[in-house]
Amino acid sequence: MLAAVLSHDANLFPVPDQPISKHVRVWDAKTGRLLLEPLNCRAWAYSAHFSPDGKQVLAASDFNAGLIWNLLLPDASEPVPPWLPRLAECIGGQTFDDNEMLKPADPDELFEIKRQIELSPTKDNYIRWAKSLFEQ
């Protein structure tokens, strides 16, 4: 890695994995926790920076390539939507029953959550993230 620069609020920093892998990782500067799945570069990245608004990571890589990723990080002021824990259970394939015992998640609930997200009039980062999840 040749360069990693903190976000404008000094809370996050992107780090190229060179020479380990062809990824950029976004870390929380306060907790040291990895925040996202590694961003795939397809070539060795040697610097990574945030855009001025903090919503994108820009990396310079081998072959004079510039890479840009849109980040869909929730704002700390946004409350966690009620569908998010249910979505996590559906994706994980298990949920808790009334006795706090694991049981298989209802596959139909995933389609209901997806419909709810698609019809949502809000444009917060949780909705944007969920929509991008379902597009994949």
Q: What is the pLDDT of residue 113?
A: 95
For residue 86, name the pLDDT band (cuts at 50, 70, 90): very high
| Least confident piece of the model among 2-11, 31-40, 85-94, 120-129 | 2-11
pLDDT value at 80 more than 50: yes
The mean pLDDT of 70-80, rounded to a whole number, is: 73
Each domain of the chain, given as residue ranges in start order, spans 3-70, 83-135
Q: What angle in degrees, to the nearest 10, is found between the helix axes of 125-135 and 107-119?
A: 120
With 70 as the cut, is the pLDDT of residue 19 above it? no
Mean of pLDDT over the chain: 80
Percentage of the chain modeled with pLDDT above 90: 22
Q: Is the pTM of this model over 0.75?
A: no
Burial environment of residue 74 by CB neighbours within 10 A (0 to 12, 13 to 18, 19 or more): middle
What radius of gyration do the chain's Cα atoms show?
18
